[in-house]
């Protein structure tokens, strides 16, 4: 026991800790940086670049660290590269750890919901901004535990540097044991030292995890006491201000004629010509032609798999066209005049220029941002509005969808209907000319459908926004749409006023579909 | 948001940088002997050494690195009283060579089987680490011999397996050896002999240093450990009652100083300086100082591949 304590406080071994920390720091930070690079390369669409990263991983993850240490220390000098023992250890550790860091980063990035990337692109964020503002922060959070574990692993691996003359803790313990024959006391002492060091790393990891724990972020700092969670929703939500069907229908009948006339006279906002799209062998769209006028509300109806969602995703270039053109007042999002594809940063600029916004079936809110931060995203990072102004505008828009009280809640703390209303407010923040809504109520429980439809209805009737809505809600389509388009198997089978298509369908498929939906609704 | 994440990362990076700086400035690299006063003034001022220094201006004033495997107390190990220093017969011998030729010695501690690769890579300038000069090893370095080889056979007290040397008594036993030691092929050859005689195998268990080999005997994992007899005797003295030397063997080798292959200036200078150290009686004094009772001085001769 006495000699154990003697070794525990021996300056020779304590100095060894410093060298161990030095080797660990070189391996950790070098591996971290190189791992970031490798992960970026592995995720690249360029097959040569990702192939280089994969080859590197195969070699450095597939060979023992001991061999890599010896290689850097004794083989590289033959090529004229002479590194000091500590630098050789740092290089070998970093080269080895990088492969593990790369996989940690890659899986963290892949783990971020693809829908959020779609939503970020749809509001007009450039690829770099998507990475920095949306994917990066969430991936970083997800990676913290694995990074902490990798730091501990790096420290333990640094003990192997003892074989290439790095005078770190293990080498010193070995030498001391050889000189004193006091084998066990020395190794117990150095074991305790390693435990203290790795324990400190674990403590640091847990502290960082706690700092960035989203559930804490929601409650503290950015959150407010959530008395609002049980309070009735305000504004346009049905609970606060029930709108009777009779009143809406009455108003609609009175204005229907003049509205139809106005739409007919408006200029064309969106032209779709000869659009084809296939995924692998499966043809999803087989020649779609459509003109949508400014201020027109078009409801896309049709069975699942008819191509409604794909058409919407093609319109703002979340998918690429196989054939045909889609033009917003002359702007073909995603393509040059000659028809060649543009890089994603240019596409982002075009989406903003064309003024196209999108609301998704599964909301696709940014999980790490509060409701108001979600809504402020297009303002801050696309339109470069100063943060305070952007948040003030976000608050106004949240008020518009009846969610002022939940402004500081994270998406995970909101109901589906509330999330979709935030999604609509976010789409509106970019001041779109054309709003695409992809089955905005399909993922909602029945009792939450109305609150979302109410918001969309008021946008259509009060704001004069041009809208393309894929939906299964026939009553809603009848009420808000100027035109109903019925699609099946990638073609438009029938289109016309809601009365024409819904009450007097001509195509047998449309007749069958409408009867089936009516049966469900009744 | 990302900035909030990056801030602790920056702190970590700063902490790492401070660690690096601290250890870089702390000068904690061990054991370069920096005694300013010469330990062997008579040797340094001898006409032979004076002449050697003038003939080898490229060595004088330089720092040369000696690759060692400091796990052999008596030959080379860290000093218990000051662990930042190395000590032992080989360390004194390299310091004496340095004083004669005018260079300072720094030490690079590596695994025994890494001694030759380290010399070949240029990370070290020479090896004085109780290494036997064999023809096989001469493929990687030139050797200048300085001592004959006597091995001892370390066994548990009482020699329960009745081991007598590298002979049939090893059949059915396990011998602990350091990786890269010359005894490894000798025991392996004995193993083949055991097999051809229908006897159980003579197994080896390979370790990284002497301390691990001795632990293997103490824990019952190995029956014998064969190494330089002075080293063996030292272990016996230190663990009296638990260990014994079963036998002393003369091996047909010499202990040598390893220098890079074909580099005649350093090889000739070392040979001449070693001759001076032997003729002046200094090597005998050093052997006595480190209680190398079986040290049989051997006049310098070359062991090379050709």
- Which of A122-126, A186-190, B3-7, B158-162 is predicted with the least confidence, judged by mean pLDDT? B3-7
* Angstroms from B268 CA to nearest CA on chain A: 24
- Positive or negative: CA dihedral B69, B70, B71, B75: positive
Does A320 contact B at CB distance below 8 Å? Answer: no
Same domain, B144 and B283: yes
In chain A, residues 77-96 whose CB comes closer than 8 Å to chain B:
77-78, 82, 85-86
pLDDT at A522: 54
Same domain, B96 and B184: no
Angle at B122 between CA B121 and CA B125, to 5 degrees: 135
Same domain, A104 and A63: yes
Has residue B16 been placed in a domain? Answer: no
Has residue B101 been placed in a domain? Answer: yes
Has residue A228 been placed in a domain? Answer: no
For chain B, give the secondary structure using H, E and C.
Answer: CHHHHHHHHHHHHHHHHHHHHHHHHCCCCCCCCCCCCCCCHHHHCCHHHHHHHHHCCCCCCCEEEEEECCEECCCEEECCCCCCCEECHHHHHHHHHHHHHCCEEEEEECCHHHHHHHHHCCCCCEEEEEEECCCCHHHCCEEEEEEEEEEEEEEECCCCCCCCCCCHHHCCCEEEEECCCCHHHHHHHHHHHHHHCCCCCCEEEEECCHHHHHHHHHCCCCCEEEEEHHHHHHHHHHCECCEEEEEEEEEEEEEEEEECCCCHHHHHHHHHHHHHHHHCCHHHHHHHHCCCCCCCECCCCEECCC
Question: How far is residue B214's CA from residue B217's CA, in Å, rounded to a whole number?
Answer: 5
Angle at A445 between CA A480 and CA A219, to 5 degrees: 110
Token output for A106? 């890659």
Same domain, B233 and B259: no
Its domain, for residue B168, covers 150-252
Question: How far is residue B254's CA from residue A36's CA, in Å, rounded to a whole number?
Answer: 53
Same domain, A11 and A111: yes
pLDDT at A490: 94
Has residue A231 been placed in a domain? Answer: no
CB-CB under 8 Å, A179 with B1: no
Has residue A444 been placed in a domain? Answer: no
Same domain, A246 and A315: yes
Same domain, B169 and B96: no
Instruction: Among B73, B78, B140, B225, pick the best mutation site for testing chain A contact (most A Cβ within 10 A).
Output: B78
Same domain, B259 and B143: yes
Q: The domain spanning residue A22 has which CATH number?
A: 1.10.3720.10
Q: What is the DSSP letter of A405?
A: G
Does A172 contact B at CB distance below 8 Å? Answer: yes
Has residue B218 been placed in a domain? Answer: yes
Has residue A347 been placed in a domain? Answer: no
Other Cβ atoms within 10 Å of A241 Cβ, number: 12
**Residue percentage of chain B with pLDDT more than 70:** 88
Same domain, A405 and A478: no
Its domain, for residue A397, covers 356-429
Same domain, B95 and B186: no
Has residue B107 been placed in a domain? Answer: yes
Does A211 contact B at CB distance below 8 Å? Answer: yes
Q: What is the mean pLDDT of chain B?
A: 88
In total, the C-beta contacts within 8 angstroms joining chain A to chain B are 126
Instruction: Among B22, B23, B208, pick the best mutation site for testing chain A contact (most A Cβ within 10 A).
Output: B23
Q: Please count the residues of chain A.
A: 522
A361 with A443: CB under 8 angstroms? yes
Same domain, B89 and B141: yes
Same domain, A165 and A51: yes
Q: Which of B219, B235, B252 is the last residue of a domain?
A: B252
In terms of Cα–Cα distance, which of A307, A302, A349, A346 is closest to A324?
A: A307
Q: What is the pLDDT of residues B58-92, one digit of tens each?
A: 999 999 999 999 999 899 999 989 999 999 999 99
Q: Please give the helix or strand (H or E) that residue A517 lies within, else none.
A: helix A508-521
* Angstroms from B88 CA to nearest CA on chain A: 10
Q: Could you give the angle at which helices A416-429 and A387-400 cross, rounded to 10 degrees?
A: 130
pLDDT at A313: 95
Binned at pLDDT 50, 70 and 90, residue B169 comes out as very high
Same domain, A396 and A466: no
In terms of Cα–Cα distance, which of A338, A347, A305, A329 is closest to A439?
A: A305
Distance of CA B202 to the CA centre of its chain: 26
CB-CB under 8 Å, A208 with B8: yes
Contacts of B8 in chain A (CB under 8 A): 208, 211
End-to-end CA distance of chain A: 84
Same domain, A38 and A171: yes
Q: Which of B235, B252, B269 is the last residue of a domain?
A: B252
Instruction: Among B9, B123, B130, pick the best mutation site for testing chain A contact (most A Cβ within 10 A).
Output: B123
Question: How far is residue B272's CA from residue B282's CA, in Å, rounded to a whole number?
Answer: 14
Same domain, A205 and A252: no
Has residue B223 been placed in a domain? Answer: yes
Same domain, B180 and B278: no
pLDDT at A236: 40
Has residue B180 been placed in a domain? Answer: yes
Q: What is the pTM of this model?
A: 0.81
How many domains, in total, are found in chain A? Answer: 3
Has residue B213 been placed in a domain? Answer: yes
Same domain, B192 and B281: no
Which residue's structure tokens are 């770099």?
A128
In chain A, residues 35-74 whose CB comes closer than 8 Å to chain B:
70, 73-74
A92 with A23: CB under 8 angstroms? no
* Angstroms from A28 CA to nearest CA on chain B: 9
Has residue A175 been placed in a domain? Answer: yes
A365 with A423: CB under 8 angstroms? yes
CB-CB under 8 Å, B118 with A19: no
Has residue A415 been placed in a domain? Answer: yes
Has residue B25 been placed in a domain? Answer: no
How many domains, in total, are found in chain B? Answer: 2
Same domain, B244 and B267: no
Same domain, A457 and A319: yes
Q: The domain spanning residue B185 has which CATH number?
A: 3.40.190.10
Task: Look at strands A297-301 and A483-488 and give their pairing.
Answer: parallel
Same domain, B144 and B154: no
Q: Which of B252, B268, B286 is the last residue of a domain?
A: B252
Binned at pLDDT 50, 70 and 90, residue B34 comes out as very low
Q: What is the pLDDT along chain A (522 residues), one digit of tens a residue?
A: 668 999 999 999 999 999 999 999 999 999 999 999 999 999 998 999 999 999 999 999 999 999 999 999 989 998 999 999 999 999 999 999 999 999 999 999 999 999 999 999 999 999 999 999 999 999 999 999 999 999 999 999 999 999 888 999 999 999 998 888 788 899 999 999 999 999 999 999 999 999 888 877 555 445 444 444 433 344 444 433 333 343 444 455 556 667 778 888 888 999 999 999 999 889 999 999 999 999 999 999 999 889 999 999 999 899 999 999 999 988 888 888 777 888 888 999 999 989 999 999 999 999 999 999 999 999 999 999 999 999 999 999 999 899 999 999 999 999 999 999 999 999 999 899 999 999 998 888 888 888 888 888 888 888 878 999 999 889 889 988 999 999 999 999 999 999 999 999 999 999 999 988 877 765
């Amino acid at each position: 026991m006495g000699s154990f304590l003697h070794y525990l406080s021996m300056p020779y071994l304590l100095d060894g800790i410093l060298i161990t920390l030095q080797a660990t720091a070189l391996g950790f930070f070098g591996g971290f940086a190189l791992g970031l690079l490798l992960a970026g390369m592995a995720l690249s669409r360029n097959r040569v670049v990702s192939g280089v990263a994969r080859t590197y991983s195969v070699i450095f993850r597939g060979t023992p660290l001991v061999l890599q240490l010896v290689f850097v220390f004794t083989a590289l000098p033959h090529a004229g590269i002479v590194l000091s023992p500590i630098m050789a250890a740092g290089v070998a550790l970093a080269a080895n750890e990088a492969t593990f860091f790369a996989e940690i980063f890659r899986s963290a990035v892949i783990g971020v919901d693809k829908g959020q990337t779609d939503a970020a692109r749809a509001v007009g964020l450039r690829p770099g901004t998507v990475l920095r503002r949306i994917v990066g922060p969430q991936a970083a959070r997800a990676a913290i535990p694995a990074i902490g574990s990798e730091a501990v692993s790096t420290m333990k691996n640094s003990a192997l540097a003892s074989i290439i003359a790095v005078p770190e803790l293990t080498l010193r313990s070995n030498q001391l044991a050889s000189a004193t024959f006091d084998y066990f006391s020395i190794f117990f002492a150095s074991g305790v030292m390693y435990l203290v060091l790795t324990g400190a790393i674990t403590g640091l990891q847990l502290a960082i995890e706690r700092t960035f724990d989203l559930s804490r972020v929601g409650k503290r700092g950015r959150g407010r006491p959530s008395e609002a969670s049980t309070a009735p929703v305000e504004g346009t939500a049905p609970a606060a201000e029930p709108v009777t069907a009779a009143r809406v229908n009455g108003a609609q009948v009175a204005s229907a004629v003049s509205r139809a006339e106005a739409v007919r006279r408006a200029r064309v906002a969106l032209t779709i010509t000869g659009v084809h799209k296939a995924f692998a062998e499966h043809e999803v769209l087989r020649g779609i032609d459509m003109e949508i006028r400014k201020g027109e509300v078009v409801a896309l109806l049709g069975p699942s798999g008819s191509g409604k969602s794909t058409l919407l995703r093609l319109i703002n270039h979340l998918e690429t066209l196989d054939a045909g053109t889609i033009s917003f007042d002359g702007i073909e999002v995603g393509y040059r005049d000659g028809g060649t594809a543009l890089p994603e940063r240019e596409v982002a600029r075009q989406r903003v220029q064309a003024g196209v916004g999108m609301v998704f079936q599964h909301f696709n809110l940014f999980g790490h941002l509060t409701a108001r931060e979600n809504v402020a995203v297009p303002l801050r990072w696309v339109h470069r509005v100063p943060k305070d102004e952007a948040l003030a505008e976000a608050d106004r828009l949240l008020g518009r969808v009846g969610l002022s009280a939940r402004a500081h809640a994270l998406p995970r703390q909101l109901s589906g209907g509330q999330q979709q209303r935030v999604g609509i407010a976010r789409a509106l923040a970019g001041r779109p000319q054309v709003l695409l809504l992809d089955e905005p109520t399909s993922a909602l429980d029945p009792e939450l459908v109305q609150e979302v439809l109410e918001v969309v209805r008021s946008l259509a009737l009060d704001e004069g926004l041009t809208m393309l809505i894929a939906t299964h809600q026939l009553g809603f389509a009848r009420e808000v749409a100027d035109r109903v388009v019925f699609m099946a198997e990638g073609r438009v089978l029938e289109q016309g006023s809601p009365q024409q298509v819904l009450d007097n369908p001509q195509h047998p498929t449309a007749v069958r579909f409408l009867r089936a939906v009516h049966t469900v609704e009744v | 948001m990302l900035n909030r994440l990056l801030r602790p990362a920056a702190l970590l990076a700063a902490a790492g940088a401070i660690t690096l700086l601290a250890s870089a400035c702390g000068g904690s690299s061990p054991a370069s002997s920096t005694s300013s006063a010469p330990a062997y003034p008579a040797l340094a001022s001898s006409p032979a050494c004076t002449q050697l220094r003038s003939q080898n201006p490229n060595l004088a004033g330089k720092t040369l690195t000696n690759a060692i495997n400091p796990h052999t107390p008596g030959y080379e190990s860290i000093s218990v009283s000051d662990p930042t220093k190395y000590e032992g017969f080989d360390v004194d011998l390299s310091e004496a060579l340095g004083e004669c030729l005018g260079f300072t010695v720094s030490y690079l501690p590596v695994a025994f089987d890494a001694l030759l690769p380290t010399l070949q890579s240029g990370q070290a300038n020479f090896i004085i680490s109780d290494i036997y000069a064999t023809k096989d090893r001469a493929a990687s370095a030139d050797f200048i011999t300085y001592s004959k080889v006597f091995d001892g056979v370390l066994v548990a007290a009482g020699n329960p397996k009745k081991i007598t040397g590298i002979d049939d008594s090893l059949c059915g036993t396990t011998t602990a050896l350091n990786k890269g030691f010359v005894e490894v092929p000798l025991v392996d050859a004995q193993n083949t002999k055991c097999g051809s005689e229908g006897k159980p195998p003579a197994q080896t268990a390979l370790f990284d240093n002497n301390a691990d080999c001795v632990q293997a005997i103490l824990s019952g994992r190995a029956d014998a450990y064969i190494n330089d007899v002075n080293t063996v005797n030292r272990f016996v003295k230190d663990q009296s009652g638990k260990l014994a030397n079963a036998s002393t063997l003369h091996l047909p080798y010499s202990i040598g100083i390893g220098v890079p292959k074909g580099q005649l200036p350093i090889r000739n200078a070392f040979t001449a300086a070693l001759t001076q150290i032997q003729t002046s009686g200094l090597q005998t004094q050093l052997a006595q100082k480190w209680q190398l009772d079986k040290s049989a001085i051997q006049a310098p001769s070359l062991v090379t591949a050709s």
